[in-house]
A = this chain, B = another copy of it.
Amino acid sequence: MTPDLADALASDAARVEAALDGLLTPPAGPERRVFEAMRYACLAGGKRLRPFLVLESCRLCDSDGEGALRIAAALEMVHCYSLVHDDLPAMDDDDMRRGRPTVHKAFDEATAILAGDGLLTRAFEVLADPATHPDGGTRAALVLALARAAGPDGMVGGQMIDLAVEHVVTGIGEITRLQRLKTGALIQFACEAGALAARAPTPLHDALRFYAQDFGLAFQMIDDLLDVEGSAAAMGKAVGKDAARGKATFVSLLGVDRARDQAHRLADQAAAHLAPFGRRAGRLRDLAAWVVKRTS
């Protein structure tokens, strides 16, 4: 990773952590417990890749500031809610996440379900609040885009497919569609956030969207590779689960080498889409180059 990108990631992660902390202040009443679980799920550190994409796309579109940070935090709440529900015994049944017990292990299942529900709802509350953007139409557009990305035609739909196709052999086209919904849709929202907040002209909006689509697929291919090759210690969660369940992944369908090649090709392609931003998009190009080299 270039030093500039490393600095920007670390500094943005710290800003997002502080924003999440402020947006999830626990009340005094007995409902405090659900806030504690929401905070446990959200304030666990991590790379904060999606918030970084939001903040960087906002910088590129000259819509940086407090509002951008709120959009980044809202998206991270949605990402964290999806992990909390995904980890539940009825779903992926994972005990560890980021090197710590998952929310239903640290609290209990009912609290984990409610914490996920609470994070998803709070995310829309944050976006719709006038503090996020002075223009109501822009706030509504952000809500609409995030809801589409996270809902049954996006992430939730992808999770449903992931459950439905378990143990069923399926082709590369189906896996690609699954991943575009399950992980790609939120990444696309992150990259488009700047264009939405700034009402950027179509060529810039398109550049960010196309970057997001190739970046998202490359990211997922490397995730699949790490699930095969990574160690549980480095990942902070169980690995090798996909293979153990006989689930089709990019790696099971393409093999390790072709999956890695294709991820690199997609990362190059993602970077190329950013031409309309010129040299200002250096960090997003660096990020694409790094994401296919990462080891955790």
Contact = CB atoms under 8 A, between A and B. Distances in A.
Interface stretch (A161-169, A207-215, A234-242, A284-292): A161-169
Nearest to A88: B113
A109 B88 CA distance: 10
Interface string A119-153: 01110110111100001111111011001101111
A39 to B, nearest CB: 11
A128 B143 contact: yes
A151 B137 contact: no
Contacts of A18: none
Nearest to A38: B152
B152 A35 contact: yes
Interface in A63-110: 81, 85, 88, 90-91, 108-110
Contact of A160 (B34, B139, B156, B158): B34
- Identical copies in the complex: 2
Interface in A19-72: 27, 29-31, 33-35, 38
A128 to B, nearest CB: 4
A118 B38 contact: no
A258 interface: no
Nearest to A146: B124
A5 B122 CA distance: 36
A177 interface: yes
A111 interface: yes
A268 interface: no
Interface of A: 27, 29-31, 33-35, 38, 81, 85, 88, 90-91, 108-111, 113-114, 116-118, 120-122, 124-125, 127-130, 135-141, 143-144, 147-148, 150-153, 156-161, 163-165, 174, 177, 181
